[in-house]
Amino acid sequence: MQPQTITVLGAGYVGLTTAALLAHANYKVYVVEPNQERLDVIKTGKSFFYEQGLDPVIKLALEAGSLIPTDSYKESVPESDVVFSCVGTPDNPDGSSNLTYVFAAAEETAKHAKKGVIYVQKSTVPVGTGKQIEALFSKLNASIDYVSNPEFLREGTALYDTLFFDRVVVGGDNRKAVDAILDIYMDLEQFRDHIAHIARIPTGSRGDQYIATTLNSAELIKVTANAFLALKISFANSIAKLADKADADVVEVMDAVGADNRIGRAFLDTGRGYGGGCFPKDVSGLISSALEHGVDLEIMQAAQSLNQSMPGYIVDKLQDAVGSLADKKIAVLGLSFKAGTSDVRKSPGVAIANILQQNGATVVTYDPQAHEEAAPDLLPDIHQVNSIEAAIDGADVTVITTEWEDILAYSARDFARHMQGSVLLDAVNKYDAKDASAAGLQYIGVGRSA
Ligand code: UDX
């Protein structure tokens, strides 16, 4: 029989998106969030983070009664046929994944679940974790089928990625359980145009592949996909450093290299490197889980250290161009780790702002969404302002650190008019260099010839 009631554990990007979408596909969905502040926001029909299209989807599902936010396993799990685990996996200081919440959620579910429940792991965990949780379930005498369902959604396009997917992967040792979860996604596919309409997001099918694998393969697929994308970015950024020295333009290089279908242009955008809640964590998690299996993933260590070098490299470039940064007023535009989200985890924009400040500059930052979230990560003397004009007013240098549309669309003439100096450092390689030069600005990219 088709599952009817679903519990989603954790209302982060993955959990809240999954819960809200399934609540529009004829399922009754509980979303369990222990943080009261967050829960209160969700109960008002909103997300506590910014994600395009998510609020109307939450609101309608709440009104229909198909989405039920709660902090209680007792209220949700006993009634559920399927439990999705989407709890956080922060990284330990040594780079390995902290699985405390993952195991706690599994154990708590085992206490309350009815017989034959399917437990779906969406949190990113090192390969082998599923087997450990299966062992835990059997130790607790819980009759639960465990499957891994790696998540590929990107922040900022979370709804689109979930509805119009390349592939859905479900791995497990019980084929019936695997098929039951694939069926849920097939149900969701039936409603995707309708939901996209509510969310006002683009539609358009992509690969739509449904892939069943073993448990361990599914766990490895997730981290491997992210590690490969991170590798592509770091590879492109290492070529950007070479282009700087060799007087070539890395954007031209990547456009042409990416035009080879075997390579592809995606994830070859160069600049300040990758941040966010996934790539940095997944890469270090993969390195340390491989080491536990006696495998040294040197290639990923290189990708990680290249990435960590990028904010400092960009500030060094600026110093080469303008000399000492002491007493320079510098506008940093963009604090979120990419456009379309308020997330500032491991954000290169925040790192660059802090390094500039440590070098004696007076730093003023602007971001259309991420002010509140960035505040705790910024050094105390960094000012945050609410408009591009307020940030660049009288600035000696402007640094673009996130590819927000309003920043990229801001006219070069207005930059020139408001700034005191003329240096525009484009750390995302996306501003129109010709416009900048025509307006009399000194455009500096990362790996772009003068
Ligand atoms: C990523 C994966 O894409 C997604 O499949 C997975 O589920 C979660 O991790 P996300 O972290 O939301 O998603 O963002 P993504 O769009 O992949 O970007 C990650 C970082 O890489 C950002 O800082 C982005 O600016 C940077 N990036 C991306 C580049 O520097 N260059 C690129 O070409 C692409």
CATH number, domain with residue 273? 3.40.50.720
Q: What is the pTM of this model?
A: 0.93
Cα dihedral 98, 5, 46, 385 in deg (nearest 10): 20
Residue nearest to atom 16 of ligand 1 (CA): 154
Indicate if 25 and 86 belong to the same structural domain: yes
66 and 148 belong to one structural domain: yes
Number of domains in the chain: 2
Same domain, 273 and 407: yes
- Regarding whether 319 and 173 lie in a shared domain, the answer is no
Tell me whether residue 228 is in a domain.
no
Both 331 and 439 in one domain: the answer is yes
**Domain for residue 230, yes or no?**
no
Quick check: is 280 in a domain?
yes
Atom of ligand 1 nearest to the CA of 157: 12
- CA of 261 from ligand 1 middle (Å) equals 20
Q: How far is the CA of 11 from the centre of ligand 1 (A)?
A: 20
Residue 413 Cβ < 6 Å to ligand 1: no
Last residue of a domain, one of 192, 213, 234: 213
Could you tell me if residue 438 is inside a domain?
Answer: yes
Rounded Cα–Cα distance for residues 74 and 8 (Å): 13
In a domain, 437, yes or no: yes
Q: Is residue 285 part of a domain?
A: yes
Task: Let me know: does 196 contact 163? Beta carbons within 8 Å.
Answer: yes
Q: Are residues 298 and 423 in the same domain?
A: yes
Ligand 1 atom nearest 154 alpha carbon: 12
Residue by residue, pLDDT tens for the chain (450 residues) are 455 999 999 999 999 999 999 999 999 999 999 999 999 999 999 999 989 999 999 999 999 999 999 999 999 999 999 999 999 998 888 888 899 999 999 999 999 999 999 999 999 999 999 999 999 999 999 999 999 999 999 988 999 999 999 999 999 999 999 999 999 999 999 999 999 999 999 999 888 899 999 999 999 999 999 999 999 999 999 999 999 999 999 999 999 999 999 999 999 999 999 999 999 999 999 999 999 999 999 999 999 999 999 999 999 999 999 999 998 999 999 999 999 999 999 999 999 999 999 999 999 999 999 999 999 999 999 999 999 999 999 999 999 999 999 999 999 999 999 999 999 999 999 999 999 999 999 999 999 986
Residues 254 and 396 occupy one common structural domain: yes
Smallest CA separation from ligand 1 atom 2, residue: 154
Q: Is residue 238 part of a domain?
A: no
State in Å: Cα 203 to ligand 1 middle. 20
Q: Which domain holds residue 155?
A: 5-213
d(CA 161, CA 163): 6
> Considering the domain boundaries, does residue 39 fall inside one?
yes
- CA-closest residue to ligand 1 atom 33: 267
Q: Pocket of ligand 1, candidates 233, 283, 408: which has the most ligand atoms within 8 Å of its Cβ, to mutate? A: 233
For residues 289 and 189, membership in a common domain is answered with: no
83, 156: one domain: yes
DSSP string of 248-303?
A: --HHHHHHHHHTSTTT-STT---SS---SSSHHHHHHHHHHHHHHTT---HHHHHH
Mutation probe of ligand 1 site: the residue of 250, 338, 400, 402 with most atoms within 8 A of C-beta = 338
Nearest CA, atom 26, ligand 1 = 274
Domain boundary among 189, 213, 237: 213
- Give me the phi and psi of 226, to 5 degrees please: -65, -40
Q: Kindly list the distances between the CA atom of residue 109 and the CA atoms of 25, 34, 77, in Å, as whole numbers in the listed order.
A: 24, 14, 7
Known catalytic residues are 278
Residue nearest ligand 1's atom 14 by CA: 154
